[in-house]
Amino acid sequence: MRFITIRAKALLLALLLGAAIAAGSALAYATDAAQVWTSGARSLPVYSVERTDNKIAISFDCAWGVEHTQAILDALAAANVRATFFTVQFWAEEHPDTLKKVSDAGHEVGTHSATHSYMSRLSEAEIRSELASSSQAITQVTGREVTLFRPPYGDYDDLLIDTCRDMGLMPVQWDVDSLDWKDLSAADIAERILSRVKSGSIILCHNNGLHTAEALPIVIDALHAKGFEFVPVGELLYYENYTIDATGRQKLLPSG
């Protein structure tokens, strides 16, 4: 019954959003990710992926609480969408049953660090400890290898990104920020996402956003109608023969 109520609200909000979405689609694309470095040689995570097949990914950062997580899982299941959840170690340890549900539902799980600290302030040894222990904690619950990492607060430096890659983890940011952690309405969350998404986008949400589950049916239905296909972040990325431009957009290198 809870999801039926969410779906009914979503349909009403979708009608109200029609004009706003049409206008938003005409806006020039601009990344929402904080501090994209545009000068100098930098080690960058992936903010988005250059693709022409309309594949996109929706991701959820998990650090505090689980009160709204089941509703999010229900909304994703109803739409047959697989997502990526980036979990902090202490969250994984406090909520192993929820983490197991996420993994068993077919969603991808990456690490969001051990302690949710500003990792650009850490030494290489501390970074390695954070990434190793958090990945191990996730694997102990899910039985799956961790291959993705999202820096807390979107904060990083060359040392973090280089160390992460050396450990076999792909660093991932986002180019579409829902701002759902600010307790925006479902309509506002949906408008922010729908006006910014393009092929290869990575959408940032949170597992315990107050109105995130209510916004998901609006977002998913609208993007499906536009021909977008949701895949986990790991299926969106390139793993060889690629470059990352100054905006964090990952691109395949020309063959030959």
Q: For 122-161, b where at least 16 C-beta lie within 10 A, e where not — what string?
A: beeeebeebbeebbebbeebbeeebbbbbbbebebbeebb
**Distance, CA of 124 to CA of 14 (rounded, Å):** 47
Catalytic annotation, pick one of 112, 116, 206, 211: 206
| Residue 61 annotated as catalytic | yes
The token pair at 241 is 């023969």
**Distance, CA of 113 to CA of 110 (rounded, Å):** 9
E-only strand ranges, the chain: 48-49, 55-62, 84-87, 108-111, 148-149, 170-171, 176-177, 202-206, 229-230, 242-244, 249-252
Catalytic annotation, pick one of 61, 175, 177, 188: 61
Q: Are strands 249-252 and 242-244 parallel, antiparallel or unpaired?
A: antiparallel
Q: Are strands 229-230 and 55-62 parallel, antiparallel or unpaired?
A: parallel
The pair phi, psi for residue 183, each rounded to 5°, is: 60, 35
Query: Residue 123 CA to chain centroid, in angstroms?
Result: 26
Most distant CA atoms of the chain, gap in Å: 56
| Residue 206 annotated as catalytic | yes
* Residues carrying an active site annotation: 61, 206
